[in-house]
A = this chain, B = another copy of it.
Amino acid sequence: MSVSAYGTLYLLPVGLGECNLEDILPKRNLELIKTLTYFIAENAKEARAFLKQCVYPEISRAQFSLINQHVKTEELQSFLTPLLEGHHIGLMSDAGCPGIADPGAEIIKLAHKKGIRVVPLVGPSSIVLSIMASGFNGQNFAFNGYLPIEKTERTRRIKELELLCVKFKQAQFFIETPYRNANVFEDLLKTLQPTTQLLVATNITLSDECIQVKPISAWKKNSAPEFFKKPTVFGIYL
């Protein structure tokens, strides 16, 4: 149970690109954000732009603690101080849902350790929306983060993921840095069995959203998706 004198750590999803916030966030989120003073974010500039889009009343009032790979655990601890003093904090990432393929997990872990209440709010995650839209196996799926950068290692990993689909009947999802989408797609077509189903989901929730599922044999006959430098989620299943 949370100690009631503490504040709450709200996990605030953020849009996945340029869009109308009312299309992707419940009204509750937009109202709650306006009541917060303390935020933990990846990037102050992007966080301020998001608050502005939420019609946050007085941006100079908002206080940001910034998480990145260089922040040490002791510093992360200090980010929780407002919570211990009874103030709520909003944790947001640059895009999508905090804690899913995104920094923030360390802060959430520390909050649980101190018995601070953690409340996740509903919002867009390209990974979750891709899993929904895949039509693969919603009872058994895994998200594997990024594939290895090195080609041999990546091919080995693709084969391994296909084997996991077979062995556990588990749909496998992964992402790639957008400028490497074409390389990964090429390796998928070369490595996977012709009957394996491949999901390519690009710019989810944006105006040019494109979600396609085809067997490898059909992808080979068609042109590649238009995913150059566009955030893309890949998924495979049998």
Classify chain A: how many residues form its interface, as a range.
Answer: 35 or more
Is the Cβ of A100 less than 8 Å from the Cβ of B128? yes
Q: Which of A107, A112, A170 has the most CB of B within 10 A?
A: A112
Contact of A140 with B134 at beta-carbon distance under 8 Å, contacts A25-B26, A122-B129 already known: no
* Chain A 185-213 near chain B by CB (<8 Å), digits 1 or 0: 00000000000000000001100011111
Instruction: Chain B residues near A120: list those with CB within 8 A.
Output: 129-130, 132-133, 204, 211
Q: Is A98 an interface residue (CB 8 A)?
A: yes
Task: Give A194 to B10 CA distance when docked, in angstroms.
Answer: 29
Q: Which of B11, B23, B28, B131 contacts A133 (CB 8 A)?
A: B11
Task: Give A140 to B212 CA distance when docked, in angstroms.
Answer: 23
- Residue pairs across A and B with Cβ atoms less than 8 A apart, 26 shown, are A23-B27, A25-B26, A25-B122, A27-B27, A99-B132, A101-B139, A102-B138, A104-B135, A105-B134, A107-B135, A108-B135, A109-B135, A111-B135, A112-B135, A112-B212, A118-B135, A119-B133, A119-B209, A120-B133, A120-B211, A122-B205, A125-B128, A128-B128, A140-B142, A140-B143, A140-B144
